[in-house]
Amino acid sequence: MKYAKLGNSDLTVSRICMGCMGFGDAANGQHSWTVDEAHSREIIKRSLELGVNFYDTAIGYQSGTSELYVGRAIKDFAKRDDVVIATKFLPRTQEEIANGISGQQHIEKMINKSLENLGMDYVDLYIYHMWDYNTPIYDIMEGLNNAVKSGKARYIGISNCYAYQLAKANAIAEKEGFAKFVSIQGHYNLIFREEEREMARLCAEDNIAMTPYSALASGRLSRLPNVSSKRLSEDSYAKFKYDATAEQDGAIIARAHELAEKRGVTMTEISLAWLLTKVTSPIVGATKLHHIEGAAKAVDLELTDEEITYLEELYIPHNLVGVMAQNTAGNANKKQVWSTGNQKI
């Protein structure tokens, strides 16, 4: 495994981040395809053996059960100081807004619940899961700064935002002496490269780490299009993300397969090796041992400039999909993309 500094922090993270959305009680959340605690523990244990020290979860994943599984596994298999734990908080609910719960109060409540779930005194990275259009950004930044000052979070990150929002938030933080975002978790992979428009340039200039999710496009970049998977067959949210661009994406996927065959490696290794030339640490989900084993191998695979060009040259700009398409100012009062399920937070 190789390691890198996480942006403007003193955190040293593995070049692969274990995405923990696939861990959790399948009967108690938004996904039916997640794996139970026993299998989650096997995967986490194996990832630690492979040198992965960076774990990303969220309070919204399977009603908090992902945090529970991750916390218990880390306690049993690793020293707390040897791992970097990231979790995320949801926007204020309509009920909280109606009851006058401020952004600062909301963040305090959310991080306290996450720490309880994880069984930890602090998280290394506390992430603003998606932009809250009903809460002033000043309140969010002050609430996050309070979490850092209290020692409950070492650093803060953001997910699912536009470059202008990240720049605006960090400008407020700089002006007020608040903690600044050190990382951005956006949607970025070989067949969805819209982060290259503005976000990648901002991050390069300000040394903000990119830790993208959907690194393998919900599995599309790890297999040929005619090979299905449990997630794509059961997860309607993931299933239709790329439907409108299936033909153009398929041509790129075919090239990833071609290079994998030529190099004697997997498509996972090719796809992640490409992404590793762009970002600090892609978030890779795993529901089987070979998923994390293949991801770890990608760190040592170096693509030539010609291979990178071959993979990139067919790309055509895409419309936004997923969280970024749904979570807009106009939709702010509608149902959240992530729900807390049955868990009381």
Handedness of CA 286, 309, 185, 204 (dihedral sign): positive
Strands (E), the chain: 3-5, 12-14, 17-19, 54-56, 84-89, 123-128, 153-159, 181-185, 209-210, 283-285
The closest of 92, 108, 97 to 146, measured between CA atoms, is 108
Burial annotation 65-91 (CB, 10 A radius, 16+ → b, else e)? bbbbbbbbbbeeebeeeebbbbbbbbb
Residue 87 near residue 57 (C-beta atoms within 8 A) = yes
Active site residue ranges: 61
CA gap 6, 15 in Å, rounded:
10
Provide the pairing of β-strand 123-128 with 84-89. parallel
Q: Residue 263: CB partners within 8 Å, gap ≥ 6? A: 269, 270, 301
The structure tokens 């963040």 sit at 107
Residue 161 amino acid letter: C
Angle subtended at Cα 285 by Cα 36 and Cα 196, rounded to the nearest 5 degrees: 155
